[in-house]
Amino acid sequence: MPEHSEHIVSPKIYFTIFIALVIGTSLTTWAAFQNFGPFNIVIALGIATAKATLVVLFFMHARYSVGRTRLVIVCAIFWLAIMLALTLADYQTRQPRMSRLVPPAVFYRV
Amino acid sequence: MSQTQTLPTRSYEMPREHYLNSSYGIRSWLLTTDHKRIALLYLVSVTFFFFVGGVFATMIRIHLLTPEGALVSPETYNKLFTMHGVAMIFFFLIPSIPAVLGNFLIPQMIGAKDVAFPRLNLLSWYIYIIGGCFALYSFSTGGLDTGWTFYTPLSSIYSNSAVTPAVLGIFINGFSSILTGLNFIVTIHTMRAPGMTWFRLPLFIWSHYATSLIMVLGTPVVAITLLLAGLERMLHLGFFNPAMGGDPILFQHLFWFYSHPAVYIMVLPAMGVVSEIIPTFARKPIFGYSFVAASSIAIAVIGFLVWAHHLFMTGMSAYSALAFSFLSYLVAIPSAVKVFNWTATLYKGSISWDAPMLYALGFIGLFTIGGLTGLFLACLGLDMHIHDTYFVIAHFHYIMVGGAVMGYIGGLHYWWPKISGKVYPEALSRFAAITLFLGFNLTFFPQFILGYLGMPRRYHSYPPEFQVLNVLSTAGASILALGYLLPMAYLTWSMRYGKVAGPNPWPATGLEWKTTSPPPTENFPVTPVVDWEPYDFPNRPDLGLTPGTLAPVPGDD
């Protein structure tokens, strides 16, 4: 078989993944109407990530791809991680709002 | 030990068939998949946008001749600097060297017949044109007044100008950039000629490889960010508007995640051009090939870790600002590696002062000034003083115009004999290069002083004590304009009336100089086999260089 030929995926697998995605979408919709407090975003992002993983692995054939293609995907995810991590580094380490409104001497004395 | 002219006096004849005369008619150009013809399509298109952006710049400089503003209303002034930025950055600087010189040269430099995906290459040009039409529509139906940075919530809520078409135009244009980058990466990986190993690649290829990585990894982020701003404007979804639960600083984070590396999309290819020109006109192998190659990749990678130095004054975390300040200093290291290595290549070289060399030397000087003043801005304490002043304007024009545009025009001069098969007037080309250099410095150096004295950017008026420096800057801009118009005129003239160049007029060592000028459609009649090291002038008898014209071998003196 030539190296670059496409891996053939059975309709059964495609259908199973499709059903999983539909379930994921339903879960997202259901979760959007529940209040999990601080876990609202975590749950929504968790379901979305799981769905995206299924799409990449099966619909985009990453599961059957050569190493170089997988490396490209890993690099893209790594770059996304850089963006998220360094952006969140700002949000997570900001001083309390008071520190920018109250003169430093007063703030530190408190 | 130095000479003033390298172009040969020997007369050549144009090849019988080449890519320019292989087929005729508008259809043969608009449906071409030849990377060289697509490069020329891009050349015409980016020159058009350079002209559009240049007209806006001219109006800005005329307006700033007097403290109260000489030409337009404050609202129109806001539109002028915005449209100048959008036209120049998204539609000229980013595509200029990669899409014109990169498209033309990458397959030839690696010994391939074309890029890996020729149709995708043509598609990228059409996407660029569609994006450009959206931008022109925005410019001509009310204009755009948000600044090229599109900061929210001004762009998404409050601006009354034509933001939506501009944002859509840039979103669409992003796909052109992604396709070009993708094409280059695959081409460089898979289509190198036999013997063309990674460490025999010209440094122009290394810099374009690094540029392509940024294009593919960064462009989607700015595209989606601008789309989100557009959605907030059109559908009132709250992404960035605090009144709707959004966060305006998030827009700045996402925007600069691409737009700072975009500076390296502009300057890395110019560095590649300079790395080709310097050895050719010093007649020496480049000093530290592997370091220059690796520094391109290092700039691309570290360039992705510095973006928040644009946000120091937004109230971001002090700890985060400290980290970004440190990372911003880091990117200076690979940039300095390049500058030192180019300088070391010049040392004891057999230097000739042809126009491409003048542009390359100009690049080194101006990029160094632009880079070092970038360190001023990376310094947290100093940035508070000069943030959003003309110091910033001067700094990034030294990088983008003094660096990227000098590299682009230098590259056009260097490869023009290959592109057109003709030679341009030598004396005039040197005069233009010197005019451009002097005009550029007179335009932008006063802006460093203006900024340090406190003149803010994007203001339509200024205190009277700043007038002398502003008049100097405007005077410089008129000289600079002459420096741009001259090459446009004589390069166009030379296509018809110039002397025939011959295959390797300088002569240079790259594979692209092994084929005819202009090259045939398939670049090489037979796939070349590479059995030489890059820039190895002393061991290339085929170039016909006499020992007197070569740089002395170290130790001989």
Per residue in A21-64, pLDDT tens?
Answer: 999 999 999 999 999 998 999 999 999 999 999 999 999 999 99
Residue A23 has a CB neighbour count (10 Å cut-off) of 12
Going by pLDDT thresholds of 50, 70 and 90, the confidence category of residue B346 is very high
Q: Is residue B294 scored above 50 in pLDDT?
A: yes
- Residue B258, chain A, CB below 8 Å: the answer is no
Mean pLDDT of the residues in chain A: 85
CATH 1.10.150.120 fits B32-549, yes or no: no
Q: Give the mean model confidence (pLDDT) for residues B335-346.
A: 97
For chain A, what percent of residues have pLDDT higher than 90? 62
* Chain A CB contacts of B305 below 8 Å: 82, 86
Checking if the pLDDT of B237 tops 70, the result is: yes
**H helix or E strand, kind and range, residue B497:** helix B467-497
Rounded to a whole number, what is the distance in Å from the CA of B312 to chain A's nearest CA? 11
- What is the per-residue pLDDT across B246-287, written as a single tens digit (0 to 9) for each? 999 999 999 999 999 999 999 999 999 999 999 999 999 999
- Judged by DSSP in three states, B33 sits in coil
pLDDT tens digits, one per residue of B351-363: 999 999 999 999 9
Tens of pLDDT, residues B13-70 = 889 899 999 999 999 999 999 999 999 999 999 999 999 999 999 999 999 999 999 8
DSSP B83-128: HHHHHHIIIIIHHIIIIIIIHHHHHHHHT-SS-S-HHHHHHHHHHH
pLDDT at residue B9, as a whole number: 58
Q: Considering only residues 167 to 226 of chain B, which have any Cβ-Cβ distance to chain A shorter than 8 Å? A: 217, 221
pLDDT of residue B441 exceeding 80, the answer is yes
Cβ(B143)–Cβ(B211) below 8 Å: no
Q: Are strands B499-500 and B422-423 parallel, antiparallel or unpaired?
A: antiparallel
Q: Sort out which chain B residues have CB atoms less than 8 A from A86's CB and list them.
A: 305, 307-308, 320, 323-324
Task: Report the percentage of chain B scoring pLDDT > 70.
Answer: 97
pLDDT band per the 50, 70, 90 thresholds, residue B481: very high
DSSP for B145-194, written as a single string:
-STTTT-TTIIIII--S-HHHHHHHHHHHHHHHHHHHHHHHHHHHH-PPT
| B507: preceding bond cis by omega (within 30 degrees) | yes
Question: Do the chains contact at A93 and B305, CB–CB below 8 Å?
Answer: no
> What tokens does B417 get?
């004999």
Under an 8 A CB cutoff, do B317 and A94 touch?
A: yes
The domain limits of chain A are 1-65, 67-110
Q: B301 in contact with A at a CB cutoff of 8 Å?
A: no
For residue B330, is pLDDT > 50? yes
For chain B, domain boundaries: 32-549
Per-residue pLDDT at A101: 52
Choose the closest CB to B217 out of A76, A87, A91: A76
- pLDDT, averaged across chain B: 94
* Residue in this structure with the two tokens 């050895």, named with its chain if needed: B279
CB neighbours (10 Å) of residue B444? Answer: 25
Q: What pLDDT sits at residue B12? A: 84
Average pLDDT over residues A101-108: 50
pLDDT digits (tens, 9 = 90+) for B172-210: 999 999 999 999 999 999 999 999 999 999 999 999 999
Cα–Cα distance, B34 to B383 (Å, whole number): 47
Contact A91 B311 (CB under 8 A): no
Query: In which region does residue B544 sit, left (phi positive, over 0), alpha (psi from -120 to 50) or beta (all else)?
Result: left
Establish if A93 touches chain B: CB-CB under 8 angstroms: yes
- pLDDT for B512-545, tens place per residue? 999 999 999 999 999 999 999 999 998 888 888 8
Residue pair B350/B551 in contact (Cβ under 8 Å)? The answer is: yes
Is residue B254 within 8 Å of residue B221, measured between CB atoms? Answer: yes
pLDDT band (50, 70, 90) for residue B557:
very low
C-alpha distances in angstroms, B418 versus B103, B204, B272, B520, B537?
13, 16, 17, 11, 20
Which of A3-7, B345-349, B432-436 shows the lowest per-residue confidence on average (mean pLDDT)?
Answer: A3-7
Q: Is A75 on the interface with B (CB under 8 A)?
A: yes
Place of tokens 């068939």: B17
Q: Flag whether pLDDT at A110 surpasses 50.
A: no
- pLDDT over 80 (residue B376): yes
Residue A105 contacts B where some CB pair is shorter than 8 Å: no
Residue predicted with more confidence, A68 or B367:
B367
How close is the nearest chain A Cα to the Cα of B216, in Å? 9
- pLDDT reported for residue B553: 60
